[in-house]
Structure 1
Amino acid sequence: MAVMDRVRTVPQEALPGKAKKAAAGLGILLALLATVVWSGSFVATRGMADSIPPVQAVFWRWVIATVAVAPFAARQAWQQRALIRRHFGYIALATLFGVTLYNTLVHQAGLTTSASNMGMIMAASPVIMALYARLGGERLGARRTFGLALAALGVLLLVGKGSIRFDFAAGDLWMFGAALSFATYSALLKRKSAELGGLAFLLTTFVLGALMLAPAYAVSVGVQGGFRVTPSTAGMLLYVGVFSSAVAFFAWNKAVAMIGAARAGVVYYLQPVCVAGLGLLLLGETTGPTQLLCMALILGGVGLGARR
């Protein structure tokens, strides 16, 4: 990660042709890495739902992520401590949406909905990213607007079990909140100062995220009690802490910096397919005709919505 962090992020328009293609290719590969790893995270989250209370799982996720990334990021974070203090308000806001809220909502959703549903609802988050772009003055056009509407229809059919009705499972509603939170985080990444190193930013958000969750963690332990550490729970926590947090967030942040949230979001659309496959293999979750139709609508809609 340290080697990758030394790659300068410059506007692609300022790069020569070959360098521009290489930067775009690397950005797409990083977005794909994050997407595949996060797909496994939904399966792990669903798998630990019955054994670890959500807030406790998320708290330990960020403690583990902090330990994992600190050897690579501590030096840069110390060198940039003045920059971190200067941009602390922005970093805290990004932490709130991308670290604290997003992951807590995902773990809460895992209690009452399937990993496949979680992945498909999250696939609609690029729709929200596009809406943020529109609020920022970007024109969507008829094709992109139609794509957004198509993806929204797919999500409504999915949570309505084949019909458009507002009879959502609690987990589906939690996932809508998670999708909104992740889209907000991705939009905020566009405002990150180019001076602030990616590893320093990552470590700071992980530490802040754990601190923000500490009071809720204490309440959860007091009310619900702790959880039993087994090889299974430890393995899942290590996966979401090291890979889904340290590795995937670094890759996603770098991808958004290199190719933008909209283009990174196109790769993110592959997530429902990855989650459905992993859910079938690891959890025995089946994907029926209705879910396949909804997946096609969501993927087709967001694909159109991302095109310029």
Structure 2
Amino acid sequence: MMARWLDAIWQRPYLLLWLPPAFWAGNLVLGRGLADTMPPVTLAVGRWVVALAVLLPFVSAVLWRQRALLWQQRWLVLLCGAFGIAGYNALAYVALRTVPAVNVAFLNSTLPLMIPVAAFVLTRETVSSRTVLGILVSFLGVSWIVSRGNMQALLTLRFERADLLVLLAILNYALYSVLLRRRPAALDPLAFLAATMATGLLVLLPFWLWELADGAVIPVDAASLSAVLYIGIFASLLAFILWNRCVAMLGAVVTGVSFHLVAVFTATLAFIFLNEAVHGFHIVGIVMILGGFGLATLPMAKRHRSP
């Protein structure tokens, strides 16, 4: 019964869309909390070592069987590992050390705007007017929360050089999301993910060694290790499995709209765990985000209603 229930959800990607943003909201909160104690590249390496260690026992046999196909797709594996595993995460953690949280929240919301551009440039994929409208409505919802209900306040946001790291990180993930569509159907998705994780770690390795040589200290207290375990299992392994599944079934553009839900879950987590107050502008912004998300994904939800 449980297996049938899980399979039914797996066949309905519009239900899965909610989970990666929830996991990434926790990652954002933890990333901010660890900014002063955990070196950024070390955190990026740690999360993927954990994720790969958990995944490998389940896919090692498939990896061996499909080694020839993986080699044929080596450039796709390399690019996905460099952009989605190494570049996005390392740059985001470096930025979190200096970029104000409000700037990070606003700049993160540009991902659904970048993906259609990247999809058109790389694959000539077009976007429906309904999806574009949904992206814009949800983007306005994020902007409403960031501006605390005063859109003119966005004009007073100060952006420094470090903010470019956030945009560069988001661009990396936009490219990764679009490139995922090029994975051959014959290539097992979990084997492909494991290969990109390993490749991403290889890309991160020289930067990690440089960070250690520069005097970085790795904390080994229970709180830091628990945070890395959460980020590695939930925000890395599970979130990427679900995100990749949604991209494969819905496309990068529609899946990208769900990234705006990170703001919804971040506000919810802050309310539950940090006792931060919920104001009227939060409610209005969340309604706009959910409205835009529904507008962009409803046609896909109807299409995938039956397994």
The corresponding residue for 1:102 is 88
Contact 1:151 1:298 in 2 (8 A): yes
Query: Where does 1:2-21 land on structure 2 (aligned, <5 Å)?
Result: none
CA distance in 2, matches of 1:171, 1:27: 35
SS in 1 for 2:219: coil
What residue is the counterpart of 2:176 in the other structure? 185
The answer for the alignment partner of 2:240 in structure 1 is 249
Q: Which string of whole-angstrom CA distances, capped at 9 and with x for unpartnered residues, describes residues 9-29 of structure 1?
A: xxxxxxxxxxxxx68852123
Deviations 1:12-47 (A, max 9, x none): xxxxxxxxxx68852123322222112211111111
Aligned to 1:11: none
CA distance 1:301–1:112, shift in 2 (3 Å): farther
Cα separation, 1, equivalents of 2:268 and 2:258: 17
The aligned counterpart of 1:34 is: 20
For 1:152 and 1:45, the matched residues in 2 are separated by 23
**1:168-207 to 2 correspondences below 5 Å:** 168-169=159-160, 172-207=163-198
Q: What is residue 302 of structure 2 aligned with on the other side?
A: none
Q: CA RMSD in A?
A: 3.2
Q: 5+ residue gaps in structure 2?
A: 300-307
Higher mean alpha-carbon deviation, 202-211 vs 282-291, is at 282-291
What are the residue-to-residue correspondences of 1:35-50 with 2, within 5 Å?
35-50=21-36
* Number of the residue aligned with 1:233: 224
Match of 1:62 in 2: 48
Residue of structure 2 in register with 1:267 after alignment: 258
What's the counterpart of residue 18 of structure 1? none
Q: Check the 8 A contact 2:86/2:204 in 1, yes or no.
A: yes
Unaligned runs of 5+ in 1: 8-21
SS at match of 1:162: helix
What is residue 19 of structure 1 aligned with on the other side? none
The 1:282–1:116 alpha-carbon spacing in structure 2 relative to 1, beyond 3 Å, is farther
Q: Separation in 2 of the partners of 1:163 and 1:264? A: 26
Q: Give the paired residue count.
A: 289
Contact 2:81 2:198 in 1 (8 A): no
Instruction: Tell me by how many angstroms 1:224 deviates.
Output: 3.0
Cα–Cα, structure 1 residues 259 and 153, in superposed 2: closer, same or farther, change >3 Å? closer
- Show CA shifts across 1:95-153 (max 9, x none): 11110011112212221345565455323311212223444151544x65566566666
TM-score normalised according to structure 2 size: 0.80
SS of the residue corresponding to residue 229 of structure 1 reads coil
- TM-score normalised to structure 1 length: 0.79
